Amino acid sequence: MSLFSPLALPSGAVIPNRVAKAAMEENMADADHAPSAELIRLYQAWAAGGSGLIITGNVMVDARAMTGPAGVVLEDDRFLDRFKTWANTARSGGGQVWMQINHPGRQMPAGLGQETLAPSAIPLDLGAQSKVFPMPRAMTATDIAEVERRFVATAALAERAGFTGVEIHAAHGYLLSQFLSPLANHRTDQWGGNLENRARLLLDIVRGVRATVSSGFAVSVKLNSADFQRGGFSPEDAQAVVAMLAPLGVDLVELSGGSYEAPAMIGSARDERTLAREAYFLEFAREIAAVATMPLMVTGGIRRREVAENVIKSGVAMAGIATALAIEPNLPHNWRLGKSDAPKLKPITWKNKPVASSAYMAAVRYQLVRLSRNRRSAPNVSPVWALLTSQMQAKRSARQYRRWVTERKAAA
């Protein structure tokens, strides 16, 4: 099997090659929190670049629960025409395009001024940066039912808009990942305690989505291979959840890892395990592949063709690439032509891991903004500069978001 072989999914859909543009946090919504012209231009660049699969950045299932102040929201069909334009543009290169759908849970910035929900009333532990995120309220059964309904509704809207699939985000410490984690979930009811209970919400959402969308529409899940925190969601837990997902019609499971507290997705862990420089989670994927009946995808640090090829040769179906495609959107085409491009950002070696993680994500977003303006990327951007400009933009966007929420409430 080669990097440019097609992949047939259980649903019958076919991904034309094994390179996936993994999700990144764009924060490029327009004034209605729908896809902006800048966001659509960004996806035009990726569509032309040759990725077999393009997975969007977070699309929020609830306008009151955002990972960032300028995020895209899809909870009804008022602006579906803009989502159709986004889908058509992203599909113009012939690849599959899946919408990543998400709820942040307790990982919602306090500056957005909204009530924060989580499985349990346990705040994020980020040391001096903990105050950036508020104390969450433990969700009621009614809250949980509404979240499930919203995920299913957003998936149905994504299909109407022309996307070819959805990815349900249950990784990186967001809400569904919080339910899975024994560190974040201290519930004693049917959603807490043993792993089967902690996985209940994710499994019910998958069942609901699969029952609602058409048979040829792809349904995938993004799952942590581990939380990289002592006592957290473990590789053994990930294996068990993949086995639970197997009979539910899941087309692909993307394996990543970490959270805001332990940002393993950029190569940092809290439990002192060493992560490889590239393909961080491949070792875990090999173990999980023993129980997986659906294709697996590994994302995390891949930037060289030989590493991506090794991922495929190891038996993992897809190589997910994020940062390298933010720097060079034509990377798949270049690799197909035999070029040895290996894009990377300026290294960040700061001791404060949460701040370093924020700076890394800011540097990635800096590239996305440049691409959205039809400019070349700037991988040597100063992490300090990227972080400062990102923080200033976030403050402006947070003010705009709070005004938008107020206007929505007044119009309701």
Instruction: Tell whether 357 is covered by a domain.
Output: no
The domain that holds 207 is classified in CATH as 3.20.20.70
Q: Give pLDDT, residue 9.
A: 97
Instruction: Tell whether 382 is covered by a domain.
Output: no
- pLDDT digit string (tens) for the chain, length 412 residues: 799 999 999 999 999 999 999 999 999 999 999 999 999 999 999 999 999 999 999 999 999 999 999 999 999 999 999 999 999 999 999 999 999 999 999 999 999 999 999 999 999 887 777 788 999 999 999 999 999 999 999 999 999 999 999 999 999 999 999 999 999 999 999 999 999 999 999 999 999 999 999 999 999 999 988 666 677 788 899 999 999 999 999 999 999 876 666 554 444 433 333 334 455 577 778 888 888 999 999 988 899 999 999 999 988 999 999 999 999 999 999 999 999 999 999 988 888 877 888 899 999 999 999 999 999 999 999 999 999 999 999 999 999 999 999 999 998 8
3-state secondary structure the chain: CCCCCCEECCCCCEECCCEEECCCCCCCECCCCCECHHHHHHHHHHHHHCCCEEECCCEECCCCCCCCCCCEECCCCCCHHHHHHHHHHHHCCCCEEEEEEECCCCCCCHHHCCCCEECCCCCCCCHHHHHHCCCCEECCHHHHHHHHHHHHHHHHHHHHHCCCEEEEEECCCCHHHHHHCCCCCCCCCCCCCCHHHHCHHHHHHHHHHHHHCCCCCEEEEEEECCCCCCCCCCHHHHHHHHHHHHHHCCCEEEEECCCCCCCHHHCCCCCCCCCCCCCCCHHHHHHHCCCCCCCEEEECCCCCHHHHHHHHHCCCCEEEECHHHHHCCCHHHHHHCCCCCCCCCCCCCCCCHHHHHHHHHHHHHHHHHHHHCCCCCCCCCCHHHHHHHHHHHHHHHHHHHHHHHHHHHHHC
Q: Give pLDDT, residue 226.
A: 65
Q: Give pLDDT, residue 275.
A: 35
Domain extent, residue 67, equals 7-344
Instruction: Tell whether 399 is covered by a domain.
Output: no
Instruction: Tell whether 161 is covered by a domain.
Output: yes
| The model's pTM | 0.94
Instruction: Tell whether 147 is covered by a domain.
Output: yes
Query: What domain count does the chain have?
Result: 1
Q: Give pLDDT, residue 279.
A: 59
Instruction: Tell whether 314 is covered by a domain.
Output: yes
Instruction: Tell whether 394 is covered by a domain.
Output: no
Instruction: Tell whether 234 is covered by a domain.
Output: yes
